[in-house]
Structure 1
Amino acid sequence: MAHSDLVITPVTSKADKKAFVDLPWRLYANDPNWVPPLKSEVYGVIEPAKNPFFGHAEAQYFLARRDNRVVGRISAHIDHLALAQPVEQGMGPGTGNFGFFEAEDAQSGKALIEAAEDWLRAKGMTRVLGPISLSIWEEPGLLIQGHDHPPTVMMGHNSPAYQAMIEGAGYQPIKQLKTYELDITHPFPPLIQRIVSSGEKSDRIRIRPVDKSKFDAEAAILLGILNDAWGKNWGFVPITDAEVAHTGKKLKPIVFEDLIMIAELDGEPVAFMMTLPDLNEATAPLNGSLLPFGWAKLLWWLRKPQVRTMRVPLMGVVQRLQSSRLASQLAFMMIEYIRRNAITRYGATRGEIGWVLDDNQGMNAIADAIDSKVNKVYQIYEKDLVTP
């Protein structure tokens, strides 16, 4: 595909893959809020041999070049587990995705989106959701609010120009994902404190930290709660055992027992909250590489992280308790226990919760109750693929 001097080609060689990974370093060179990812992590996501997502998915990557200079990139991909989900939950039959979208200008952006759509159409897809890079569990959505401060660990950042490019290509907003920030140095409002105190007096409730010495068993408990708790959420795609093992191995260095809580009711695990120290604070100065001394600096930091921000990427309560007072009570108790640990043991002053679906009334209500404010909004778009 060509637009005047613009050429769109599929990524086929090792050099193409390197250009695909390296492009953001040039595009965001003057953006103080972009956090360079570790390149090894990016390769680990896009290479099928390294990412168990490809056990149920397929993808094609594209580059845009002008005068032999790379000016954009995009992925087109199909998650076959997503195709099996109910249509009313956002995914479903015929739904493909695009992601990893970067473009130097509107012309290259338009051409890249067309290339992704052509690939998806040729695969029999009739609808596109995006941007999602690559799994719904990784970096979903386009940042449309909150470009003025850096993302936390495992959150995306993109140029504000991309919103006009995607909407100009005929995409309509379908779902917003929000992150909330809060000052954790202050106690929560008196009502929340009373709810926590009441829970502490109940002999039915136990809030415990995870046990890293039983990592696999604890991960299985979290997965069971997560797949149950999120099973009816918009965009849900079940996580496979291989993906859990892969993610667990990747996150293990930043998993700290006192930052991940499991709530038990009458001895049964029914809720959990995962909190991660903001690894971006440590990796931002490394400029994407652990060499020559970045690995040593990172290992030293991981021994006892001292961070400004803690991020809550995952939280869940089993469906049978959702919308009950007990669900809120368990959530507030886990948040409070982790808040105390984050301050006293890690020096944290700020928390970030997200992402949270815009229609997740329970989580949005909890965020409001602890005086947190929306600090970033990510937009997912959809478009019907019609035969040209």
Structure 2
Amino acid sequence: MSKKSKFDSVFLKNSKDKEIPKALKKLINSKAPSGYIYDNLSGSSTEFVLRKENDPSELSFILRMKFPTVFEGMPVKNIDELLEASFRTQKVIDVDKNLQNGSNGQAPTHISLTGEIDEYKIFPKPFPELPPIKVFYGNKKEFISVKRIPLASFDEIKIESEETSILKILLIINEKTNRINFTAALNFEVLKTVDDYFEKREIIKSFYEGKLKIFSEILPTEKEKRIIFEKNDKFYQALKELQDILNKKIEFPRNVSKEEFKLTQLLFESLINKRVVKFQPSSEIYFNFDKEKSNVKDLLPSIEGKDSLAFFFPTIETKSFFNIYLEAIENKLYYNMLYKEFIEEKYQLILESTSESVSYVYYQLDLDNKMVDHFPGNIKEAIDINDVDFTVKNESMVQSNK
């Protein structure tokens, strides 16, 4: 089957710069069917394409295609459907060179004097830019940039939001039924810092509360997701308060380890609520001492055999807190501990905990103050670490810390 194909940006215009000998043209065109001629391609003196003799277009010539066929899983019956399939999938059409040679008396569509014929490729036109989608939440609206996505279907169009949007929107539009199916999710990848979260907090909150409206439809949500949002929101609020105190920007945490979460709890209570945190210590506590400076060995006779020991250990620690590092005085107090052993080679003291044991932790940032010989926090008002939910004890206290 032969069909004239017109398309831009694939083949260059014919050039008359190179003159082809008339005798050679006559010989080549003797093979052309009636009403057609062979014309040189892109100014080449060795390659010729078949075109209609009286066609004024310089970008039109004959290609031979075989139908029916399948393109990217889509059955096509003619050239129009093939070009449409190429556009919808944004895939290049590779033209069969063997078909261009002709068979059973057919004239070739391409003649090369050198015997070398380049690959034929038909490139689809790119998708046009689309207008943004309006998303409404509360009294505000946000424009979400979208783009068309290749889809192997003659009936449906796929549209997605750009990667830079806080909302992941997917639209499937059926052009035959005019039905639109859409889904939406949050794209936390666009959040680089904790500050970014609070810039988008209102739309994130509306998403979890089921108050986002797209195409006059409200996106539903589940009660469990609302609860998750409330817990996460308090955690991010705690990070915001801490970064203000530390005067350092904290990256938005997409994955939080148990250690990072626990350190956030301790810093939040120490630096914002000014409150000691208590918890059950691990079964064994190890303390390493400087052999030249410590007199811990002299204290061993007074603690061996005791069933209720208290130890206070203040140290200056460098803590890795998400993407930042901070120096702080870590005050640890242990109650109701048992002496287990002292390893002289390591100069290491090992304590053992019981069900009655308890440990207290309190952080201080003021390194200019010397470490004291007594625990600086009020253990009577200590909060159990399992109860730390990032609730600010006193709002005025937070304001004074800023």
- Into which bin does the TM-score normalised by the smaller protein fall? under 0.3
Determine which structure has the larger helix proportion and give its number.
Answer: 1
TM-score (norm 1): 0.23
TM-score (norm 2): 0.22
Bigger radius of gyration: 2
